[in-house]
Amino acid sequence: MLCSVALTGLLASTAMADATTLRGTILAIEASGQVVVNDGATAGVPTMTMTYRIAPAPLFKTLHVGDHIVATLDSTTSPETLRNARVVSSAPLVNAPSPIRTVEVLRVGDKVPQIPLVDQTGTPFTFTKYFGRDVVLAFIYTRCRDPRECPLTSAKFGELQSRLRSRNAHLVEVTLDPAYDTPKVLARYAGIYNADPAKWTFATGRPNDVLNFDAAFGLDPFVDPRFGLIHGETLAVVDPRGTIHDLVYTNSWQPSEIVASLDEVDHVASNPLARLDLWLSQAAVAVCGNGVAGFDGFGDLLVVLAIFAAFGYIFWRVFRAIMSNARES
């Protein structure tokens, strides 16, 4: 209720300005709290497959693969948000868009799976290679053209590379498109971001192995002929024992926040404001739903405080007016 008033309500006029009705079929439910929907009736736009956030959050648990839904599309968030989704019918998918993977989705405290991968130099490895080092892990594919997704992740990894150069830490980006992203392709992509192989690995491998690794982090990319791969966002902070310390299911994180998370892993003095900001952003998504995932953590808090202050002031003025009228009568 708090978030509905403070975050959604405050921005309702802006959101509704860009809102349209979406009708589509749910193709997948992702562990990151997003849904993959194929639609064909959004303001006359041809059919497409996209990943959407769900708001309010409790609705997410009521949705299933094969549900035909009607929802309000809010294009002011990234990814876009489906608000107040309503299931109008449900039927099993005749042709599943991707193979069903039975990989168990990992949580904080789990070990990174030792699935065989190959780096951009063609060298095979598993995550045991990074035991003894902190690892920041994310997922991209080289053909992604949406500047808000993979290119943004890799650009922020570039900043992390600079910040972590003197630390015993390593960056890993695993492809979501192993059939195309060969070591040679990844090496070319790494060059775009001036990646140092000693600090930053781009991983591929046998497609089934790679896609199982992706699925372990809640990612099961879908192919759309017009838009490429449809996928969610996951970033993991891994400690030197290969244990997941943090999972971030949004691309709104900042390098300073990830550095602060690594400081916490290493038990060194960290920036408490950056840690708090990351925690607030994650808490906002958990409590308010994915529609607030693009907001800044401190921004969320300030909006909430501002709303409370405004309601408090209005209540105080009304109370004074009532008491004044009571005394006069």
pLDDT along the chain (329 residues), means of 10: 44 49 85 76 56 86 89 81 91 60 85 97 97 97 90 97 96 96 97 97 96 91 74 93 93 91 86 53 48 48 60 73 68
Are residues 226 and 184 located together in one domain of the fold? yes
pLDDT the model gives residue 50: 77
The answer to whether position 132 is within a domain reads: yes
Per-residue pLDDT, 32: 65
Domain presence at residue 241 = yes
Quote the pLDDT of residue 180: 94
pLDDT at site 231: 83
At which of 234, 251, 268 does a domain end? 251
pTM for the whole structure = 0.66
Report in angstroms the alpha-carbon separations of 197 from 123, 200, 250.
11, 5, 26
Regarding whether 208 and 146 lie in a shared domain, the answer is yes
Is 264 inside any structural domain?
A: no
Q: Are residues 80 and 178 in the same domain?
A: no
CATH number, domain with residue 80: 2.40.50.320
**CB atoms < 10 A from the CB of 329, how many?**
5
Specify the pLDDT at position 8.
44
pLDDT at 81: 87
| In a shared domain, residues 162 and 57 | no
Distance of alpha carbon 228 from alpha carbon 169, whole angstroms? 32
Distance CA 323, CA 315 (A): 12
Note whether 86 and 19 are same-domain residues: yes
Q: What is the CATH number of the domain that holds 181?
A: 3.40.30.10
Cα separation, 233 vs 142, in Å, equals 15
Alpha helices for 44-148 (secondary structure H) = none
For residues 79 and 121, membership in a common domain is answered with no
Q: Can you give the pLDDT at residue 114?
A: 95
Domain that holds residue 121: 117-251
Domain end point (choices 218, 251, 284): 251
- Residues 87 and 67: their CA atoms lie apart, in Å, by 6
Residues 137 and 232 occupy one common structural domain:
yes
Q: How many CA atoms lie within 13 A of 151 on its CB side?
A: 7
Same domain as 82, residue 135 = no
Residues 6+ apart with CB under 8 A from 108: 244, 245, 246, 247
Q: Which residues pair with 10 in a beta bridge?
A: none
* Claim to verify: residue 221 and residue 132 sit in the same structural domain: yes
